[in-house]
Amino acid sequence: MDPMYLLNVAWQTLVDYLNLNRTIALIIAFLIAGGIASMINKNFILKYFGPKTPKHISYLVASVSGCLLAVCSCTILPLFAGIYKRGAGIGPATTFLFSGPAINVLAIFYSAALLGWGIGLFRTASAVILSILVGLGMALIFKNEEQKRNFRVREESSVSTKPTYQTVIFFAIQLLMLIVITASPKLIPALSVSLIGGFLVKHLITIILAAVLAIVTVKWFSKDEINLWFKETFSLMKMVVPLLLFGVALAGILKALIPPAIIANYVGGNSLSSNFIASFIGALMYFSTLTEVPIVKSLMELGMGNGPALALLLAGPSLSIPSVLTIAKVMGKAKSLTYLGLVVLFSTIAGVIFGSL
């Protein structure tokens, strides 16, 4: 294949990826992560995500926390990096990393509407269970290393040095901004109504929320606290963005090299190999929020089995080449590859079970 064509595909993939809404969403996600890293009490995080926290608390909180965010695997990365950097245990942290995009409320409803409620509901239940299993697996495999990085901290009852209501409002505004800017037209059509040209209702609401955020930040936080927030945000961006863009471009090239029709030939039926192939391909390919659903639908129309379809729906949004590269930067290559392996393994198992029902 012509190298210039592949370069053009890589460039076009980057251009498509960096659309206005996704760029705004990424910036908001980095700001949230920077806020977690600079303003949230590390000891409070350890209270719920630390290695000594009762598993039924830490993993349950981590597994359902992703329901609040309508984000893809790349957007969840700065949030994951923020909590891991502050001392969250590797188990709950990777549970959160998987649950963010896998239990995306928008994607769940969209897949139910497009593919049927059977696969939609099973995807939801599987994502919750798989996120916990992946986290438990990571904690077990790296148990010795976790003990070495364990923080000796005193118990803390407050989430930060600020009054609880200020901290909650500070992050709630940003979460609301993230939800608004990523809201699907199918779920909340009113947010995608055009006001002037490409300027939508969601953009106006985001601007208003940004203004409110600026006001409360200046009013409640000192100059040093605000500077530290931006410093942590910029530090995370320097670490994540270059690998993110490289991975997106590479994923675009791979997508051009592997025709969907050929993939469908290997993922028909419900064999162990077809589920594994679907899960593995899904873990490497990049799917922006909701795009995995129409892709899976088209592959199912080409002969993809129900089991492999679910395996792809589970592994696809949760992983990608960009996220694998970035996770390696945050946790190291061994942990990144182990996380990849566990996601592929459990997604394959879930696909086999669903396909046999």
Q: Measured between alpha carbons, how far is 118 from 124 in angstroms, rounded to an integer?
A: 10
pLDDT at 158 over 70: no
196 forms beta bridges with 199
Report residue 66's pLDDT band, with 50, 70 and 90 as the boundaries.
low
CA dihedral sign of residues 341, 249, 93, 312: negative
Cβ contacts of 131 within 8 Å, gap of 6 or more:
62, 63, 66, 95, 96, 98, 99, 102, 103
pLDDT at 86 over 80: no
Is the whole model's pTM more than 0.85, yes or no?
no
Name which of 64-73, 98-107, 195-204, 342-351 the model is least confident about.
Answer: 64-73
Name which of 60-64, 165-169, 246-250 the model is least confident about.
Answer: 246-250
Which of the residue ranges 130-139, 284-293, 299-308 has the most confident prediction, judged by mean pLDDT? Answer: 130-139
Over residues 283-292, the mean pLDDT reads: 70
**Domain positions in the chain:** 3-251
Q: Measured between alpha carbons, how far is 160 from 228 in angstroms, rounded to an integer?
A: 14
* Cα 249 to chain centroid, rounded: 18
Q: Measured between alpha carbons, how far is 281 from 165 in angstroms, rounded to an integer?
A: 44
pLDDT at 196 over 50: yes
